[in-house]
Structure 1
Amino acid sequence: MAITGRSKDIYQEVTDAVIEQMEKGVLVWHCGWKESGLPSNVTTGICYRGWNVFWLNFHTMVKSYPTPQYLTFKQALDLGGNIRKGEKGVKIIYWATIHTKSGINESQLADDDENKANRQRLVPKVYTVFNIAQAEGIIFFEPDMNGSSKAEKHVACEALIDQMPKRPEIRLNGQYPVYYPVRDLVSVPPISSFSSAEEYYAALFHELAHSTGHELRLGRKEITESAGYGSEPYSCEELTAELTATFLCALTGIGQQTIENSAAYLQGWLSALKNDKTLLVKAAGQAQKAADYIRNIKDEAA
């Protein structure tokens, strides 16, 4: 995706905010998820997507808000309430659809496109939202706070894996978690080799996330055109898989515990993010698509 003008500032704002936390030893996407569900908009009831899911979950946790439900200042007014004076909102990214007229580089268009003069593309824009706890004068329904049992969570994990379309072969006798693109094979150690069932499922989710990049599924170039360790495509793919696993762990109610926030690990991601300010948003977008694919659902509204 080409980025110009304001878009560059958006990518930088998001990246700078995450880097600030990482320099404190915090990985935003590893922070604990609320039992009350994924971050959603109070007015529409729609869950946020992409990077917004991780960022609003982190914001909810840091501020100790009861629920990860958000709305804009205007939405609060429309509901007959207001945002309390002095409250500060949090910025999220909204992907707006714009139409591009003639003059676009023809090489960027598909050969079989009948309308090369008028195309749609997505452009990132920033919106400010507030947690419902920052509002006043609004009556809303709180989500059910009753968490699932450990057994129910594990059943949910198995059900999620079972519903993945075109699922790769999964072997449960490996020495370590790995995905082999050429063989389209996921291999993980048996569940008894992990310190907890949660770690086992998180590792399996990570490798299944890699498998979504196979040409039989989403055809992600980071998998189909594999690059070497430490390269930018490698970093993007690893971050995509990690965010996908975190997202799926949140959906099934388990915690992601596969990787510790070691100094070396954090430093590696800091270096990658500083070298490419689009990496985080791009990987989060790919992770959303990967999670949707594994869940066997089509793209939802952003």
Structure 2
Amino acid sequence: MKTDVYERITGRIVAELEQGVRPWLKPWSVEHAAGRITRPLRFNGMPYQGINVLMLWGESVAKGFAAPIWMTFKQAQEMGGHVRKGEHGSLVVYADRIRRTERDEATGEEAEREIPFLKGYTVFNVEQVEGLL
């Protein structure tokens, strides 16, 4: 059975806490971005938000990445690069709501409701990607 996204995130946070690391604290490092401290960034320069910041900071520390930029496998290909063989990606999530109109069969009335969802996907740090244009 595939582990769901909530369990993966919770497991990661618990593992860091068991090692004495508080993952909500910034792992301060000025090795990248000309000395500026930054949140993890998407390939287009937009910063990640929410739990993704904590998850990617943790991955950066664990894997020794200095660069703050992350991208999907497909984005790396679209930019002329490729993920090095044997590299493992990192989990990020996208959360939103779907609006759905449903009809109550007993009354015949329509009601709109929002259904929250969470989708996990994999990103790679630019240090795991070769040949970017």
CA contact (8 A) 1:29 1:55 kept: no
Q: Which has the larger radius of gyration?
A: 1
CA distance in 2, matches of 1:122, 1:30: 28
Distance 1:70 1:31, change over 3 A: same
Identity across matched positions, percent: 35
Deviation at 1:80, TM superposition (A): 1.2
Distance 1:78 1:97, change over 3 A: farther
Deviation at 1:119, TM superposition (A): 4.1
CA distance in 2, matches of 1:36, 1:135: 22
Instruction: Say which of 123, 127, 136 aligns to 2:130.
Output: 136
CA contact (8 A) 1:36 1:67 kept: no
CA contact (8 A) 1:33 1:57 kept: no
CA distance in 2, matches of 1:9, 1:55: 16
Q: Please name the residue that 2:49 is paired with.
A: 49
Deviation at 1:21, TM superposition (A): 1.4
1:125 and 2:126 matched: no
**Which blocks of at least 5 consecutive residues in structure 1 are unaligned?**
1-5, 105-115, 140-302
Distance 1:117 1:130, change over 3 A: same
Query: Which TM-score applies when normalising by structure 1?
Result: 0.37
Considering fraction of residues, name the structure with more strand: 2
Partner secondary structure for residue 121 of structure 2: strand
Partner secondary structure for residue 111 of structure 2: coil
CA contact (8 A) 2:76 2:132 kept: yes
Deviation at 1:62, TM superposition (A): 2.1
CA distance in 2, matches of 1:40, 1:25: 26
CA distance in 1, matches of 2:25, 2:126: 23
Q: What is the one-letter code of the residue matched to 2:38?
A: G
Deviation at 1:11, TM superposition (A): 1.4
Q: Please name the residue that 2:80 is paired with.
A: 80
1:17 and 2:26 matched: no
CA distance in 1, matches of 2:103, 2:14: 38
CA contact (8 A) 2:55 2:91 kept: no
Q: What is the one-letter code of the residue matched to 1:41?
A: R
Deviation at 1:125, TM superposition (A): 0.7
Partner secondary structure for residue 38 of structure 2: coil
Q: How many residues align?
A: 121
Distance 1:11 1:67, change over 3 A: same
Q: Please name the residue that 1:98 is paired with.
A: 98
Query: Which TM-score applies when normalising by structure 2?
Result: 0.79
Deviation at 1:10, TM superposition (A): 1.7
Q: What is the one-letter code of the residue matched to 1:39?
A: P
Deviation digits for residues 52-77 of structure 1 (CA, Å, limit 9, x no counterpart): 01111121122221211100001111
CA distance in 1, matches of 2:74, 2:12: 25
Q: What is the one-letter code of the residue matched to 1:14?
A: I
Q: What is the one-letter code of the residue matched to 2:21?
A: V
Partner secondary structure for residue 127 of structure 2: helix
Q: What is the one-letter code of the residue matched to 1:23?
A: E
The answer to which structure, 1 or 2, has the higher relative contact order (CA under 8 A, 6+ apart) is 2
**Which blocks of at least 5 consecutive residues in structure 2 are unaligned?**
30-35, 105-109
CA distance in 2, matches of 1:32, 1:17: 16
Considering fraction of residues, name the structure with more helix: 1
